[in-house]
């Protein structure tokens, strides 16, 4: 049976399976990936007074950073399909008195954004989950004014990201085998192929497309690294399906993580794309 709406599987996943971990661990996760998001934010170069969409804003840290960048005369709209994560985002915005920041529970692939109303769109790991990414990017482009720009961050291949492969490899011997991933399927590594990504943006009508490799260390304290490794990413997904293996996995994952300790911080490489483009 076909899904009655685009991205229904992702809506279910981000509201049920993934949401509890991301809500509980949002501070740990922000500490890990905010420095990567800052690199994409610099590529966007938001200016005072601009109107910006944050696609896949999650628990709101990236939207708050955008709101600070555009100032009180600007406007930021964080868009996400996860109601639990948006509840966290709204509380954070209220605590920060960011009245020019609001959040929208919506699917950016199909939501009827006001045409040409945004100066820019941004995303920190929020655009890899669309059932039809070309349609999603086309819909986001229509929300941009002529000359409006987009900048986003997405993962390169899993094999290039030790911060995920190290704990996953440590736990695999205790877990049942999994089928190989479906190429280009929605998920964290859907845009590992930079040429495919460039083609999707071109098909969506963007111009001046640049897909640049970005390599940066991810750092976090050992306890936070362990918590996130066990609940988020490939290993977290496997443990949700085989919770009985958790105790057997824990010791090996802790040991593998601690092999990467530098100055009290677990430090591992990450590999992403920073993508920029312009609406004609």
Cβ pair 188, 224 in contact under 8 A: no
Q: Where do the DSSP E strands lie in 133-224?
A: 144-155, 207-220
Report the pLDDT value the prediction gives residue 178, as an integer from 0 to 100.
Answer: 81
Q: Between residues 233 and 1, which one has the greater pLDDT?
A: 233
Look up the pTM and report it: 0.95
Mean pLDDT of 208-224: 97
Share of the chain above pLDDT 90, in %: 94
Mean pLDDT of 11-28: 96
Q: 49-81, pLDDT tens digit by residue?
A: 999 999 999 999 999 999 999 999 999 999 999
Q: 146-185, pLDDT tens digit by residue?
A: 999 999 999 999 999 999 999 999 999 899 888 888 888 9
| Rounded CA separation 157/134 (Å) | 20
Phi, psi (5° rounding) for residue 135? -65, -40
Domain range list for the chain: 8-157+182-217+271-278
- DSSP helix/strand/coil, 71: coil
| Half-sphere CA count of 152, side-chain side, radius 13 A | 28
2 has pLDDT over 50: no
Q: CATH for 8-157+182-217+271-278?
A: 3.40.50.150
The candidate with the shortest Cα–Cα distance to 222, out of 189, 251, 264, is 264
Report the pLDDT value the prediction gives residue 17, as an integer from 0 to 100.
Answer: 93
Phi, psi (5° rounding) for residue 180? -60, 150
Cβ pair 13, 20 in contact under 8 A: no
* Residue 200 in tokens: 């999707």
Q: 21-44, pLDDT tens digit by residue?
A: 999 999 999 999 999 999 999 999
| Rounded CA separation 260/266 (Å) | 5
Report the pLDDT value the prediction gives residue 3, as an integer from 0 to 100.
Answer: 46
Mean pLDDT of 227-235: 94
Report the pLDDT value the prediction gives residue 177, as an integer from 0 to 100.
Answer: 84
Strands 144-155 and 51-55, bridge-based pairing = unpaired
Report the pLDDT value the prediction gives residue 1, as an integer from 0 to 100.
Answer: 31
Average pLDDT of every residue of the chain: 95
Which letter does DSSP use for residue 246 in this model?
Answer: H
Contact residues for 3 (Cβ-Cβ < 8 A; gap 6+): 9, 131
Question: In Å, how far are 26, 171, 183 from 86, measured between CA atoms?
Answer: 12, 31, 30
- DSSP helix/strand/coil, 186: coil
Share of the chain above pLDDT 70, in %: 99
Confidence of residue 4 (pLDDT cuts 50, 70, 90): low
Strands 101-105 and 207-220, bridge-based pairing = unpaired
Mean pLDDT of 73-102: 98
């Amino acid at each position: 049976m076909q899904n009655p709406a685009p991205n229904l599987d992702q809506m279910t996943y981000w509201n049920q399976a993934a949401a509890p971990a991301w809500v509980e661990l949002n501070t740990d996760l922000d500490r890990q990936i905010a420095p990567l998001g800052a690199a994409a934010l610099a590529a966007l170069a938001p200016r005072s007074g601009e109107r910006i969409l944050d696609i896949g804003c999650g628990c709101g840290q990236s939207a708050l950073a955008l709101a600070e960048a555009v100032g009180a005369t600007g406007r930021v709209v964080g868009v996400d399909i996860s109601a639990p994560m948006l509840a966290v985002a709204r509380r954070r915005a209220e605590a920060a008195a960011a009245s020019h920041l609001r959040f929208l529970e919506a699917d950016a692939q199909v939501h009827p954004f006001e045409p040409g109303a945004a100066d820019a769109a941004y995303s920190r790991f929020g655009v890899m989950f669309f059932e039809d990414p070309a349609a999603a990017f086309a819909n986001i482009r229509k929300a941009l004014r002529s000359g409006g720009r987009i900048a986003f961050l997405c993962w390169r291949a899993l094999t290039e990201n030790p911060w995920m492969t190290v704990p996953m490899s440590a736990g695999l011997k205790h877990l049942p085998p999994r089928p190989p991933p479906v190429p280009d399927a929605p998920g964290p590594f859907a845009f590992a192929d930079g040429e495919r990504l460039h083609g999707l943006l071109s098909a969506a009508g963007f111009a001046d497309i640049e897909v640049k490799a970005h390599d940066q260390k991810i750092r976090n304290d050992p306890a936070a690294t362990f918590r996130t490794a066990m609940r988020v990413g490939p290993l977290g997904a496997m443990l949700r399906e085989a919770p009985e293996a958790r105790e057997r996995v824990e010791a090996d994952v802790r040991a593998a993580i601690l092999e990467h300790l530098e100055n009290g911080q677990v430090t591992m490489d990450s590999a992403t794309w920073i993508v920029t483009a312009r609406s004609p």
